[in-house]
Amino acid sequence: MKIELLSQHDITRLLQIEQQANPYPWQLSAFESSFGDSYFGYKLLDDNAVLQGFYIAQLILEQLELFNICVAPDMQGKGYGKALLQHFLCEGASRGATEAFLEVRSSNDSAIALYEKCGFSINGIRKNYYVYGENKADAILMAVIL
């Protein structure tokens, strides 16, 4: 596995992975808007150079925020999400970040456990933050000092 910088040419594959792995996936416009000056993202490539995971982040001054992290369903459970998350933290620190933030759906127990293993702690809740159809879910706010 190899981790490389994302490009706009990767959007089609990002969207495909996101739709396969997430019951409430990002739309195309969200991916398209994630290539501005303050954003950065990396992709995880398998041994055949096929994109199998990614993350998208934003750095404003010293504050780093993780917007999306996703691994293709057939590649999950192999430590690739953790590798991407650790890369995110190291890359952010190398760019001058002193703290990192994220939001996660309150029902996403596996993601919350991963974030906690990597040093994140819960520092708040946004009630009914995620809206999908008639359903709503809270967002758990997490942070780590780098």
pLDDT-derived band at 75, boundaries 50, 70, 90: very high
CATH number for position 137 = 3.40.630.30
What lies within 8 Å, CB to CB, of 84 at 6+ separation is 3, 42, 44, 53, 54, 55, 69, 71
55: phi then psi, degrees, rounded to nearest 5: -140, 155
First-to-last C-alpha distance (Å) of the chain? 25
pLDDT-derived band at 105, boundaries 50, 70, 90: very high
138: phi then psi, degrees, rounded to nearest 5: -75, 155
* Alpha helix positions (H), the chain: 11-21, 28-32, 80-94, 109-117
Range of the domain at 86: 2-145
Looking at every residue in the chain, the average pLDDT score rounds to 95
**pLDDT higher than threshold 80 for residue 133:** no
pLDDT in tens, 56-69: 999 999 999 999 99
Catalytic residues: 103, 115
pLDDT in tens, 26-46: 999 999 999 988 999 999 999
pLDDT in tens, 42-57: 999 999 999 999 999 9
pLDDT-derived band at 130, boundaries 50, 70, 90: confident
Alpha carbon dihedral 27, 101, 115, 57, in 10-degree steps, equals 40
Q: Let me know how many helices (H) and strands (E) the chain has, helices first.
A: 4, 7
**pLDDT higher than threshold 90 for residue 118:** yes
**pLDDT higher than threshold 90 for residue 11:** yes
Q: How many domains does the chain have?
A: 1
- Mean pLDDT along residues 74-95: 96
- Mean pLDDT along residues 83-101: 97
